């Protein structure tokens, strides 16, 4: 029974691997490149990311007014504040897809310094390819199912790899040199499939969380006893106060620096001001302050530093997936780990080709032998 199960898993692993080979390659290459993608963008697109620091930054309302003058019918997704004195304001258009526009402003003059689309930058293009498969929201969902299939592929691979006897452990965990190319390819597939298996599973599981966030939250919250927060709504709707007054009100509500302002999408929604700390890049800790647009009243302060473990688990998905949790050393390791799927896909395809070629050669040999036997029998009969 175990032998039959092992053979069935082997066939399933083979055909699933061949079917997902190109997908595995794409995820590995783009994932590795994304680890330092932001830094590449800031270097290559320095004209929109860097300005000469001035004395005083202009009010965010002036930035928003300049944007609306340029694009009177465009909907604003959010306004990002400069992280450093020499960086820029950034307004993201609310539309989705590869044409989503980012407009950059000099924080000291309020002038537009440049624009980019989502797919118009190195990092943005890689994100759109890695997370959306260049297919928009459909690709985002397809990616989630792809991550589920990759999880099954890796689990089945681990099952197949598991040695039957103690004497096989050394062979399974190492590379047999001087045994020919086919043996080396086989061993390389085994080694790169088992050593980073826990990390590759982690990449796949966090990708599933990204693609299916709501079901993932419901599952984790149910397991940890966390209650889902209700959306914040404005009790009464009146004339909105100046945006800078609302931001200042939110700024006083909690420590940290203002990093983003989300404007109301519809009547009854609050203005949401996001504040961050220096540890944001490693932890994704932030505080989201919901403000009543017409009164400036603080409706909620959602500080991730005080979240229960269930919400923390979902929050950690991003820094874990991108290797941000341990600084530069971890990110370098993540680049190497991201290339493991590339080698696995190639060595898996090679093993299939070797077996296919061997079977074809065996069939040809049998056919030749049968032809020779038939010819000999015909000669003898004549």
pLDDT tens string, the chain, 382 residues long: the values are 567 777 888 888 888 888 888 999 999 999 999 999 989 988 888 889 999 999 899 999 999 999 999 999 888 889 999 999 999 999 998 766 667 889 999 999 999 999 998 888 899 899 999 999 988 889 999 999 999 999 999 999 988 888 887 778 888 888 888 888 888 999 999 999 999 999 999 999 999 999 999 999 999 999 999 888 888 988 877 889 999 999 999 999 999 999 999 999 888 899 999 999 988 878 889 999 999 999 999 999 999 999 999 999 999 998 999 888 888 889 999 999 999 999 999 999 999 998 888 888 888 788 777 777 776 777 776 6
User: Would you call 98 exposed, middle or buried from its count of C-beta atoms within 10 A (0-12, 13-18, 19+)?
Assistant: middle
Would you say the CATH fold of 228-305 matches that of 46-120? Answer: yes
| Helical H segments across the chain, by residue range | 2-19, 21-34, 37-44, 46-49, 60-70, 122-132, 136-161, 169-172, 181-194, 197-211, 213-224, 243-253, 280-283, 309-315, 317-322, 328-381
Could you tell me the pTM of the whole model?
0.84
The residue count for the chain? 382
Q: Which long-range contacts (CB under 8 A, 24 or more apart) does 375-381 make?
A: none
The domain 228-305 having CATH identifier 3.10.450.40: the answer here is yes
Distance CA 339, CA 40 (A): 19
Contact 122, 38 (CB under 8 A): no
* CB-CB neighbours of 135 under 10 Å: 15
- DSSP letter at 273 equals E
Nearest to 75 by CA among 237, 241, 268, 265: 265
> Phi, psi at residue 52, to the nearest 5°?
-80, 125
CB 93 within 8 A of CB 75: yes
| Burial per residue of 192-219, b for 16 or more beta-carbon CB atoms within 10 angstroms, e otherwise | bbbebbebbeebbbbbbbbbbeeebbee
d(CA 241, CA 316): 35
> Where along the chain do its domains lie?
1-38+121-226+308-354, 46-120, 228-305
Dihedral in degrees, nearest 10, Cα atoms 151, 153, 159, 162: -100
| CA gap 134, 143 in Å, rounded | 11
Fold of the domain built from segment(s) 46-120: Nuclear Transport Factor 2; Chain: A, (3.10.450)
Q: What residues contact 64, with CB distance under 8 A and at least 6 apart?
A: 76, 79, 91, 243
């Amino acid at each position: 029974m175990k032998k039959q199960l092992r053979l069935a898993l082997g066939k399933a692993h083979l055909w699933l691997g061949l079917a997902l080979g190109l997908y595995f390659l794409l995820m590995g290459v783009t994932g590795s490149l994304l680890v330092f993608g932001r830094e590449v963008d800031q270097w290559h697109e320095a004209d929109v990311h860097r300005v000469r620091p001035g004395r005083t930054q202009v009010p965010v309302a002036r930035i928003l007014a300049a944007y609306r003058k340029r694009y009177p019918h465009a909907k604003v997704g959010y306004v990002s504040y400069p992280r450093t004195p020499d960086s820029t304001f950034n307004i993201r258009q609310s539309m989705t897809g590869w044409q989503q526009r980012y407009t950059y402003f000099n924080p000291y003059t309020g002038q537009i310094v440049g624009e980019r689309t989502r797919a118009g930058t190195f990092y943005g293009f890689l994100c759109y390819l890695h997370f959306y498969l260049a297919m928009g929201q459909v690709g985002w969902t397809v990616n989630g199912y792809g991550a589920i299939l990759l999880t099954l592929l890796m689990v089945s691979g681990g099952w197949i790899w598991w040695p039957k006897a103690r004497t096989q452990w050394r062979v399974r965990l190492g590379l047999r040199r001087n045994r020919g190319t086919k043996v080396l390819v086989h061993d390389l597939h085994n080694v790169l499939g088992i050593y980073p298996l826990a990390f590759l599973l982690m990449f796949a599981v966090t990708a599933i969380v990204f693609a299916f966030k709501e079901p993932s939250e419901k599952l984790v919250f149910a397991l940890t006893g966390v209650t889902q927060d209700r959306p914040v709504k404005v009790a009464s709707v009146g004339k909105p106060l100046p945006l800078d007054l609302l931001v200042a009100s939110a700024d006083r509500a909690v420590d940290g620096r203002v990093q983003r302002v989300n404007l109301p999408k519809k009547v009854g929604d609050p203005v949401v001001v996001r504040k961050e700390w220096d540890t944001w890049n490693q932890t994704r800790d932030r505080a989201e302050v919901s403000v009543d647009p017409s009164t400036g009243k603080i409706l909620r302060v959602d500080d991730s530093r005080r979240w229960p473990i269930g919400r923390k688990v979902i929050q950690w998905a991003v820094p874990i997936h991108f290797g941000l949790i341990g600084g530069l050393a971890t990110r370098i390791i993540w680049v190497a780990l991201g290339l493991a799927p590339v080698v696995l896909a190639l060595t898996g395809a090679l093993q299939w080709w070797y077996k296919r070629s061997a079977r074809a050669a065996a069939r040809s040999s049998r056919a030749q032998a049968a032809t020779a036997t038939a010819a000999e029998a015909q000669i003898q009969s004549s």
